[in-house]
Structure 1
Amino acid sequence: MLAIVFIIALLVVSSPASSSAIPQAHERRWSRPVVTIDNGPISGIHLESFDQDVFLGIPFAVPPTGENGLRFSNPVAYSESFPGTGHDGSAYSYSCPQYGPFAVGVGAPANQSEDCLTLNVVRPSGSFDENLPVLVWIYGGGYTAGATSDPVYNLSYIVQESANMGKPIIAVSMNYRTAIFGFIASQEVVDSGNSNLGLKDQRLALHWVKKHIGAFGGDCNKITIWGESAGAYSVGLQVLAYGGKQSGLFRGAIYESGTALATYQDIDHYQPLYDAIVNATDCSSSPNTLQCLRTLPYETIYNVSATYGFTPIIDGDFIPDWPSNLLETGQFDTDVANLIGANTDEGSATFFGWSGLNTDNEMISFLSNSTVTGLNISSGLAAQLVTAYSSDSLDGVPFGFVNEGINLTALGQLYRKSASIAGDLFIIAPRRYQCEVASYRGAKVYSYRFDQTPYIVPGFILGSLPLNPTHYSEISFVFGNPENLTDPYESYLGPSSNGNQALSSKMMRSWISFVAELDPNHDTLGETWPDYGYGPINMVFRDDGCYTEADDFRAIGIKLLNDHPKELLH
Structure 2
Amino acid sequence: MFLLFSALLLGIQCSAVHASSAQVIDTGKHISYNGFTRNGSDSFLNIRYAKDTGLRRFGPPEAFVPAVGTAFNNTVAGKSFFGFALSEPLRGEKSLNVGLRDQRLALDWVQENIVHFGGDKDKVTIFGQSSGALSVTMQITAFGGTQKAPFQQAIIESTALEPTQTSNLTLDTFNAVAKLSGCSNGTDPQSASTLACLRGLSMESLFNATLTKQALDAANNIGDTYLPTIDGDFVPEAPSALLAAGKFSRIPFMAGWMKDDATPFTLTTIQTTADTLAYISITSPGLTPATLNSLLALYPITDFAPNTTPALSAEFYRTAQIFRDILLTCPNFLLGAAMAKKFTSKSPPIYLFMQNQTILDSKPTGPTGLGIIHTSELPYVFGQFADYNTTNSTLFPTASDYELHERQSRSWSTFAWTGRPSIDGKRTLEGWTGSYDEWTGDVEGISGTKVYTIGGGNAGLSAIQQGAIAAQKLASRCAYLNSADVIKQLKY
| TM-score class normalised by the smaller sequence | 0.7 to 0.9
Determine if contact 1:481/1:493 at 8 Å carries over to the other structure.
no
- Aligned runs of 1:127-166 on 2, under 5 Å? none
Residues 123-171 of structure 1: per-residue CA shift (max 9 Å, x gap): xxxxxxxxxxxxxxxxxxxxxxxxxxxxxxxxxxxxxxxxxxxxxxxxx
1:151 corresponds to which residue? Answer: none
CA gap of 1:63–1:494, structure 2 versus 1, over 3 A, is farther
Residue 487 of structure 1 and its aligned partner are, at CA, apart by 6.3
**Superposed counterparts of 1:28-427, under 5 Å:** 33-37=22-26, 38=29, 40-47=31-38, 50-64=39-53, 68-81=54-67, 86-92=71-77, 94-96=78-80, 178=81, 181-266=82-167, 268-284=168-184, 287-308=192-213, 309-334=225-250, 336-350=251-265, 353-364=266-277, 366-367=279-280, 369=281, 372-392=282-302, 394-395=304-305, 403=307, 405-409=309-313, 414-427=315-328
Deviation of 1:479 (Å): 1.1
Q: Distance in 2 between matches of 1:364 and 1:85?
A: 59
Alpha-carbon distance between aligned partners in 1 of 2:93 and 2:112, rounded to the nearest angstrom? 28
In structure 2, C-alpha distance between the alignment counterparts of 1:239 and 1:533, rounded to whole Å: 19
Following the alignment from structure 2 to structure 1, what is the Cα–Cα distance between the partners of residues 392 and 158? 19
Partner residue in 1 for 2:488: 566
Q: Which amino acid is 1:568 matched to? A: L
How far did 1:390 drift?
2.6
Which string of whole-angstrom CA distances, capped at 9 and with x for unpartnered residues, describes residues 65-120 of structure 1?
xxx312211111111227x761012222x332xxxxxxxxxxxxxxxxxxxxxxxx
When the two structures are superposed, what TM-score results if normalisation uses the length of structure 1? 0.70
2: CA distance, partners of 1:32 / 1:251: 25
Q: Which residue identity lines up with residue 81 of structure 1 in the other structure?
A: A
Count of residue pairs the alignment pairs up:
430
Indicate if the aligned counterparts of 2:349 and 2:420 stay in contact, CA closer than 8 A: no
- The 3-state SS of whatever aligns with 2:387 is coil
Quick one: structure 1 residues 419 and 456, their matched pair in 2 at CA, closer, same or farther if it must change by over 3 Å?
closer
Distance in 1 of aligned mates of 2:422 and 2:21: 36
Code of the residue aligned with 1:484 in structure 2: it is D
8 Å CA contact 1:457, 1:473 repeated in 2:
no
Report deviation, 1:326.
Answer: 0.7
Secondary structure of the residue that 2:140 maps to in structure 1? helix
4+ runs of 1 displaced by more than 6 Å?
Answer: 485-490
Cα distance in structure 1, aligned partners of 2:148 and 2:262:
33
CA distance in 2, matches of 1:74, 1:43: 28
Deviation at 1:440, TM superposition (A): 2.4
- Look up the match of 1:484: 387
Contact conserved, 2:361 with 2:368, CA < 8 A, in 1? Answer: no
**Separation (CA, whole Å) in 2 of partners of 1:59 and 1:489:** 39
Question: Considering only aligned residues, what root-mean-square deviation do their CA atoms show, in Å?
Answer: 2.8
Equivalent residue number for residue 121 of structure 1: none
Unaligned runs of at least 5 residues, structure 1: 1-30, 97-177, 396-401
* Partner residue, 1:15: none
CA distance in 2, matches of 1:439, 1:457: 39
Supply the AA of the counterpart residue of 1:201. D
Pick closer, same or farther for the CA change 1:210–1:440 going to 2, 3 Å: same
Structure 2 distance, partners of 1:489, 1:447, is 36
CA offset at residue 485 of structure 1? 6.9
Report deviation, 1:245.
Answer: 1.3
**1:245 alignment partner AA:** T
Cα distance in 2, alignment partners of residues 465 and 36 from structure 1: 51
Q: Following the alignment from structure 1 to structure 2, what is the Cα–Cα distance between the partners of residues 487 and 74? A: 40
Question: In the alignment, which residue of structure 1 is the partner of 2:464?
Answer: 551
Normalising by structure 2, what TM-score? 0.80
Answer whether contact 2:304 2:315 (CA < 8 A) is retained. no
1:556 Cα deviation after fit: 2.2
Give aligned-pair identity as a percent.
28
> Is the 8 Å Cα contact of residues 393 and 416 (structure 1) preserved in structure 2?
no
Q: Secondary structure at the match of 2:128?
A: strand
Deviates more, 1:217-226 or 1:287-296: 287-296
Select which of 349, 353, 356 maps to 1:448.
Answer: 353
Query: Aligned residue for 1:528?
Result: 431
Q: Which moved more, 1:536-545 or 1:415-424?
A: 536-545
CA-CA distance at 1:435 after TM superposition: 1.7
More helix by share: 2
Q: Which moved more, 1:550-559 or 1:221-230?
A: 550-559
Q: Distance in 2 between matches of 1:247 and 1:294?
A: 33
Query: Quick check: 1:439–1:532 contact (8 Å CA) kept in 2?
Result: no
- Say if 1:32 and 1:377 are closer, same or farther in 2 by CA, change over 3 A: closer
